[in-house]
Amino acid sequence: MSNNENVYRPVQGKTYSLFAEGDDSEHYYAEIKRLVDGFLKLCPDEKRLLSLIQKAGKKPFLMGLKTTGADQKTLQFVRETLKQSLSIYTQNVSNHLNTLSLAAKRMDSTLATSEEKYHLYMLEIELVNRIYREEFKRSGYKFALIAHCLRDFRPGCRSVKGDIEAVCRGCTEGCLIRLGSVLLEKYGIEPYISVEMDQERLFRRLKQEHSSIGALGIACIPELAMGMRLCIRTGIPPVGIPLNANRCARWMSQAHETSFNLEQLEDLLR
């Protein structure tokens, strides 16, 4: 591992951890890339595969998308393969769901994300990165929204209000938002700390202000997948990197430090 070793302590999330039982999240990235390569042999049209897996989590099944018997066979194979390959990263989902009240499940669909949906979101994130990466890189204006829970919890964060969201002031050497921001700026991407709840309004505003725009997200798996969908609906090419584990106060009774894979972020941007 690199000199970022100190920020990559393996952590368990409320529902998932990309470390699984290992020392880093590299195995996760190797596995999800291998899976997508395999699924694209069955369904070589990346956008078609993306539509299929986005609809797979919906009820009634495949609403609004015409599918063939071959599509349904592909989906069945995808679901079974994902379950076998990715369950190691989502070991805490069922315990979490068992502790959620019916009211909590109704009020917050993100908290109620099923294990199968986590697997489909993991696949979706990797597929979206492949489909939109070049378009994102060609965009005239590129910005990133980094989950606020990545702030270093030791000092009082010195971030300040920026023109679209909060901006890191780099007060703490090992803070992952500082490290991520430095890397993003190296690739011409404006980094912001995500605190805005109404992202749809933000994206529509930015779309009006810039003729060519790309978005990068760093967030927990369900939030990142939803953010990518919102970008695509708004006409903004998205890419993103999931948090290594979901540990913010929304998921746990209080916020705990988490991380993301900086090397994978750089691979995505090269």
Place of tokens 């780099």: 170
Smallest distance from the beta carbon of 155 to ligand SF4, in angstroms? 6
Long-range (24+ apart) CB contacts under 8 A made by 125-128 are 125/221, 125/224, 125/225, 125/228, 125/240, 125/242, 126/32, 126/33, 126/35, 126/36, 127/36, 127/46, 127/49, 127/50, 127/53, 128/50, 128/228, 128/232, 128/238, 128/239, 128/240
**Are β-strands 166-167 and 160-161 bridged in parallel, bridged antiparallel, or unpaired?**
antiparallel
Q: What is the largest CA-CA distance in the chain?
A: 56
CB nearer ligand SF4, residue 96 or residue 151: 151
Task: State the nearest-atom distance from the C-beta of 149 to ligand SF4, in Å.
Answer: 11
Given the complex with ligand SF4, which of 20 and 248 has the nearer CB atom? 248
Instruction: State the nearest-atom distance from the C-beta of 266 to ligand SF4, in Å.
Output: 19
Number of residues that make up the chain: 270
Q: Which is nearer to ligand SF4, 50 or 243 (CB)?
A: 243
CA distances from 204 to 37, 80, 106, 132 (A): 33, 38, 28, 19
CB of 195 to ligand SF4, least distance (A): 11
Complex with ligand SF4: residue 71 or 257, whichever CB lies closer? 257
Residue closer to ligand SF4, measured from CB, 113 or 244: 244
Amino acid identity, position 153: F
Least CB distance to ligand SF4 at residue 173 (A): 8
| CA angle at 220 for the pair 244 and 252, rounded to the nearest 5° | 90
Closest CA to 235 of 200, 207, 199: 207
Cβ-based neighbour number of residue 227 at 10 Å: 22
Q: How far is the CB of 56 from ligand SF4 (least distance, A)?
A: 36
Q: What's the min distance (Å) between Cβ of 177 and ligand SF4?
A: 4
Closer Cβ to ligand SF4, 98 or 254, answer by number = 254
Q: Cα–Cα distance between 89 and 22 in angstroms, integer?
A: 10
Shorter beta-carbon distance to ligand SF4: residue 168 or 224: 168
Site residues (CB under 6 A) for ligand SF4? Answer: 151-152, 155, 157-159, 168-172, 175, 177-178
Q: Are 168 and 178 in contact (CB under 8 A)?
A: yes
